[in-house]
């Protein structure tokens, strides 16, 4: 084998990571520190086995600036700015200065309006840390991913994970806000994702959160009740009780959307198609099928149900609104490096 000089080795330095999105059963909504991305509330989610993001970070010591591509196209604007700011953070932690080439590929159907920031920043944190030689344990990695997007901290882990809001301010808050697994080995439900065709979202989740915290008279009430929801959720998960898990998840999500509707001006992500799908979920329950809805910063609905009922639930939501499609997910794996690739 030919000897490789230090410069060539550095040029070759890269890593590829794969991460999956997660759906919160207890939502994160609102930041108490926008720079460090510290949430107001704890959140709890299920990582999915669909729609992975694959990200390669390769160091480029000769380059003058970072280069970022998303789904094979050069990134620009806000997405590019966020990736570069995240690379800056990794470089600061690693004490390194070389620019990087970042290539990110999402598998979410184009225009589906499903948030990919959770899988995106989880994959970027893992690939970036490996490429810059940062040795981080999963807790530290989740803390890092949180700086990209708080929900990304949970995608570091598979199955169910909790993101702690942390206490105090500044460095103490940063240290205390991380995700960790919530082991529930026997709970393996289906999550049917109803993709409603509703165009791009009008308000980013970042802007919507800020407006809700600053102006919604319902925000504090929801944040307080969310604490009780989390306690109840942990017990329901321990008991493997799908009906209790679903009821708590649904009330927590509807409460979160109520805070937004009461913001000034209101933030409304729920479209007529969303409401039609919610009605179909109520009808399923009336027909004896345990099915429960949750919604994020967009019009899509995710329906929690038993695996044995997933086909019927998918068929029902597809028929609920014109153009509605459905993808059935189960719990999925945590973020991982792809061996050999990009290295
Ligand atoms: O982390 P962000 O900025 O993508 O915000 C996610 C917020 C929700 O999806 C609405 C809730 C959650 O906990 O994932």
Residue 12: per-residue pLDDT = 57
Best residue among 20, 23, 24, 30 to mutate for probing ligand 1, ranked by most atoms within 8 Å of CB: 24
Same domain, 209 and 308: yes
Separation between Cα atoms, residue 283 and residue 289, nearest integer Å: 9
Query: In the listed set 122, 156, 185, which residue is the last one of a domain according to the structure?
Result: 185
Residue 1: per-residue pLDDT = 37
Residue-wise pLDDT for 205-221, tens only, equals 999 999 999 999 999 99
Whether residue 42 has its Cβ less than 6 Å from ligand 1: no
What is the pLDDT confidence band of residue 341, given thresholds at 50, 70 and 90?
A: low
Same domain, 38 and 178: yes
Best residue among 229, 293, 296, 302 to mutate for probing ligand 1, ranked by most atoms within 8 Å of CB: 296
60 CA to middle of ligand 1, Å? 32
11 CA to middle of ligand 1, Å? 36
Residue-wise pLDDT for 22-79, tens only, equals 999 999 999 999 999 999 999 999 999 999 999 999 999 999 999 999 999 999 999 9
In this prediction, residues 187-214 reach a mean pLDDT of 89
Residue 341 lies in a domain: no
117 CA to middle of ligand 1, Å? 9
Same domain, 45 and 114: yes
Mean pLDDT of the chain: 93
Nearest CA to ligand 1 atom 10: 296
**At 96, which CATH number?**
3.30.230.10
pTM of the prediction? 0.95
**At 296, which CATH number?**
3.30.70.890
Nearest CA-CA partner of 294 in 330, 241, 267, 254: 254
206 CA to middle of ligand 1, Å? 9
**Residue 208's domain spans which residues?**
190-329
Residue-wise pLDDT for 137-163, tens only, equals 999 999 999 999 999 999 999 999 999
Residue 122 lies in a domain: yes
Residue 319 lies in a domain: yes
């Amino acid at each position: 084998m030919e000897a490789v000089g230090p410069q060539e080795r550095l040029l070759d330095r890269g890593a590829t990571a794969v991460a999956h999105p997660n759906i919160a059963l207890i939502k994160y909504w609102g930041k108490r520190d926008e720079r460090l991305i510290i949430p107001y509330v704890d959140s709890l989610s299920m990582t999915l086995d669909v729609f992975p993001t694959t990200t390669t970070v390769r160091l480029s010591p000769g380059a003058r600036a970072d280069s970022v591509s998303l789904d094979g196209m050069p990134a620009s604007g806000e997405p590019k700015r966020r990736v570069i700011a995240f690379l800056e953070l990794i470089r600061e932690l690693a004490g390194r200065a070389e620019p990087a080439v970042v290539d990110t590929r999402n598998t979410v159907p184009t225009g589906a309006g499903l948030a990919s920031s959770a899988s995106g920043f989880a994959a970027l944190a893992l690939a970036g840390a490996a490429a810059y030689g940062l040795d981080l344990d999963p807790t530290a990695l989740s803390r890092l991913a949180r700086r990209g997007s708080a929900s990304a901290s949970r995608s570091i882990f598979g199955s169910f994970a909790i993101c702690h809001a942390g206490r105090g301010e500044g460095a103490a808050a940063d240290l205390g806000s991380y995700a960790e697994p919530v082991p529930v080995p026997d709970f393996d439900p289906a999550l049917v994702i109803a993709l409603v065709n509703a165009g791009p979202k009008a308000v980013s989740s970042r802007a919507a959160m800020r407006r809700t915290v600053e102006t919604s008279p319902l925000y504090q009430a929801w944040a307080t009740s969310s604490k009780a929801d989390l306690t109840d959720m942990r017990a329901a998960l321990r008991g493997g009780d799908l009906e209790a898990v679903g009821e708590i998840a649904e009330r927590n999500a509807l409460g979160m959307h109520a805070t937004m509707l009461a913001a000034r001006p209101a933030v409304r992500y729920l479209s007529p198609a969303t409401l039609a799908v919610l009605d179909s979920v109520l009808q399923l329950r009336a027909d004896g099928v345990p099915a429960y809805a949750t919604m994020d910063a967009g019009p899509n609905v995710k329906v929690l149900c038993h695996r044995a009922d997933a086909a019927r639930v998918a068929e029902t939501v597809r028929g609920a609104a014109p153009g509605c499609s459905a993808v059935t997910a189960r719990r999925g794996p945590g973020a991982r490096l792809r061996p050999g690739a990009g290295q």
